[in-house]
Amino acid sequence: MTDLLTGPHTVAQERRLVTELPGPRSRELAARRAAAVTSAVGSVLPVYIERAAGGVVVDVDGNSFIDLGSGIAVTNVGHAAPEVVAAVQAQVAAFTHTCFMVGPYEGYVAVAEELDRLTPGDHEKRTALFNTGAEAVENAVKVARVATGRSAVVVFDHAYHGRTNLTMALTAKNMPYKHGFGPFAGEVYRVPMSYPYRDEPGTTGEQAAARAIDLIETQIGAANVAAVLIEPIQGEGGFVVPAPGFLPALTDWCRRSGAVFIADEVQTGFCRTGAWFASEHEGVVPDLITTAKGIAGGMPLAGVTGRAELMDAVHTGGLGGTYGGNPVSCAAALASIRIMRELDLNAAARAIEATMLPRLRALQERTGVVGDVRGRGAMLAVELVEPGTNEPDSALTNAISKACHAEGVITLTAGTHSNVLRFLPPLVIGQDLLTEGLDVLDAAFDAHVGK
């Protein structure tokens, strides 16, 4: 566990509340927001942020929060990591944008070399860079369709892949992501996920895969499948870790049927789960892999990396976009990857798991409302249910999450039934700060369970 980030913190690594929440300046900003920003965009916290570093976020009224959300699995290297800041400052002063499709630059190539090197598999790879996870997923599907000449895309229950038209079609949960935004893109087919907590007890990964494959073969036709797209650990769907054997069985089927296996590692990538990519935990080598979030220390960057013969099957000019692989984001990514390597943030994520899992399991023992504890590395979750049942308890989940916010700890929820508390701390968070955050979580459970 690294206590020291990558240089002196610009913000004290402490939880400290100095006003009521929200404080006066946050309240002023909330009033301005109501008059300027659509209510269609929500926010989890009632406060407005002024600065952040390491594992701490400070609001405009001087309140310091322990961050167990990392801006939804983005600031893996910590907020405002000094090396990232320095790299961004140098690049932004050199040039901010040329459009790689107009005037190419080394940073894009260097990030592509890193992604080709770091992603699973020792085959020849190629990369294309974009801005957001949804954009990466959209383009991975484009590549798979051109490379196979097929159109069907197979996705899973509880999946989340983005908010664009195609990625809404790929995403499972209706509210808030899809409701009212149809019609959605066609040729998208959903099959059951391996969800050990909610599957028939004892269902193996192989059995769950056979269930999905039977539906693919009987209702879609293997020869029509361009891609099977899956998150190795489902993120917004509730940190669902498939049973061992599920992912390898799906990749084997893809190899046999000529479909492209796409791993969506937007949320699981870049040391988050204790490996560079979550696919590695089961020895899975994706044909294509999408990345974003943790790649660039908070700067917007996303990528599709995959087998050279698949990526290069697309005609020149078929992939691109104005900002894809922005040079400032690429500089941030190269600095972030250097931090991950030099600080061994894979080991840091595994150390976070070793600290957190016993505490989460103790909550399960003590409270009777934790139906499941799951995840890998620093991507962990508890699924909350009514005592003695597996009935989702979204109200309790929301109450506990908000109670943590009120005590200066940022937590996030997830799940198809909104009954999952998920934890995504920066991988560089100090042990003491993490432990203090878990103490606040314990107290929130005590204050709300059984009430």
Binding mask 280-309 toward ligand PLZ (x if CB under 6 A, else -) reads ------------x-----------------
**Residue nearer to ligand PLZ on the CB measure, 2 or 194:** 194
Q: Which of 61, 114, 157, 236 binds ligand PLZ (CB under 6 A)?
A: 236
Q: Cβ neighbours of residue 174 under 8 Å, at least 6 residues apart?
A: none
Stretch of residues binding ligand PLZ (CB under 6 A), selected from 59-67, 75-83, 159-167, 417-425: 159-167
SS3 category, 42: coil
Q: Angle at Cα 316 formed by Cα 313 and Cα 322, nearest 5°?
A: 120
Name the burial class of residue 424, with classes exposed (0-12), middle (13-18) and buried (19+) by CB atoms within 10 angstroms of its CB. buried
171, 343 Cβ separation under 8 angstroms: no
Q: Which helix (H) or strand (E) holds 144?
A: helix 133-148
45 belongs to the binding site for ligand PLZ (CB under 6 A): no
What's the CA gap between 17 and 406, in Å, rounded?
Answer: 9
In the complex, least distance from residue 165 CB atom to ligand PLZ, rounded to whole angstroms: 13
198 belongs to the binding site for ligand PLZ (CB under 6 A): no
Q: Angle at Cα 55 formed by Cα 355 and Cα 447, nearest 5°?
A: 65
231 belongs to the binding site for ligand PLZ (CB under 6 A): yes
Q: Residue 349 gets which letter from DSSP? A: H
SS3 category, 407: coil
Stretch of residues binding ligand PLZ (CB under 6 A), selected from 31-39, 89-97, 145-153, 229-237: 229-237
Q: Which of 13, 132, 194, 411 binds ligand PLZ (CB under 6 A)?
A: 132
Binding mask 327-366 toward ligand PLZ (x if CB under 6 A, else -) reads ----------------------------------------
In the complex, least distance from residue 73 CB atom to ligand PLZ, rounded to whole angstroms: 7
Chain length of the chain = 451
**Half-sphere CA count of 224, side-chain side, radius 13 A:** 12
In the complex, least distance from residue 175 CB atom to ligand PLZ, rounded to whole angstroms: 12
What's the CA gap between 139 and 405, in Å, rounded?
Answer: 36
422 belongs to the binding site for ligand PLZ (CB under 6 A): no
The footprint of ligand PLZ (CB under 6 A) covers 72, 132-134, 137, 160-163, 231, 235-236, 264, 266-267, 292
